Chains A and B, each alone.
Chain A
Amino acid sequence: DVKVTQSSRYLVKRTGEKVFLECVQDMDHENMFWYRQDPGLGLRLIYFSYDVKMKEKGDIPEGYSVSREKKERFSLILESASTNQTSMYLCASSLQDRVAGYTFGSGTRLTVV
């Protein structure tokens, strides 16, 4: 069963901590994405990557960075966590030019206290 795996289901971190969210896909997809999901706001794109070591900013990149050293792994980094980054974080992957081919992970619920 092909899938996108996010390393943690729940995380609690303190303000100012550096936080790493990990995502691994086993489908050999070129594209990988990080979204955050907040009530009433839907999914908002933070960053995406279309190839190893390549990245593009999404709609809300401020306070975040990403790393893609291997095709199957895409990491989201919160450089200095703040309470307004408390959210559900969803990773997704897709083949190139497959607008309807996203596969999502189950999400990481991050709470920053």
Chain B
Amino acid sequence: QKEVEQDPGPLSVPEGAIVSLNCTYSNSAFQYFMWYRQYSRKGPELLMYTYSSGNKEDGRFTAQVDKSSKYISLFIRDSQPSDSATYLCAMSADAAGNKLTFGGGTRVLVKP
């Protein structure tokens, strides 16, 4: 079983809809949680970062962490065609960041 599970999709939504993405994990030591966005033929770029449990909002993006359930989520409000990309969750047990564990990524397609 993988340490981090993520549905590969693809997830297809109409423009303006809310996109809901999630990851589950098994390692209770994880306490640093990130979401990366990866456009086709590009490297991943950091979208959201959360430490421990709770919510974080940045514009149209909201990240949630529920450590008791070992479950993290990313919500994209008012989705745009430019949000079409692969979204990867990543986690780490320590702040040194020498070892991130990534999910497999979810491909999202926002249709105009």
Chain A contacts to B: CB under 8 angstroms? 4, 31, 39-45, 48, 50, 56, 58, 90, 92, 94, 96-102, 104-107
Contacts and interface: CB of A to CB of B under 8 A. Distances in A.
Interface of B: 4, 6, 8, 32, 34, 41-46, 49, 88, 90, 92, 94-100, 102-105
Contacts, number: 66
A42 B103 contact: yes
A48 B45 CA distance: 19
Contacts of B102: 42-44
Nearest to A56: B98
A31 B97 contact: yes
Contact of A100 (B34, B41, B42): B34
A101 B104 contact: no
A42, A96, A107 interface centre (most CB from chain B within 10 Å) = A42
Given A4-B43, A104-B43, A42 B6 contact: yes
Contacts of B103: 42
Given A42-B103, A43-B88, A100-B34, A90 B98 contact: no
Contacts of A45: 99-100
A41 to B, nearest CB: 6
B5 to A, nearest CB: 10
Contacts of A92: 43
A97 B45 contact: no
30 contacts: A4-B43, A31-B97, A31-B98, A40-B8, A40-B104, A42-B6, A42-B103, A42-B104, A42-B105, A43-B88, A43-B100, A43-B102, A44-B102, A45-B100, A48-B99, A50-B98, A56-B98, A92-B43, A94-B97, A96-B96, A97-B97, A98-B97, A99-B94, A99-B96, A99-B97, A100-B32, A100-B34, A101-B97, A102-B46, A106-B41
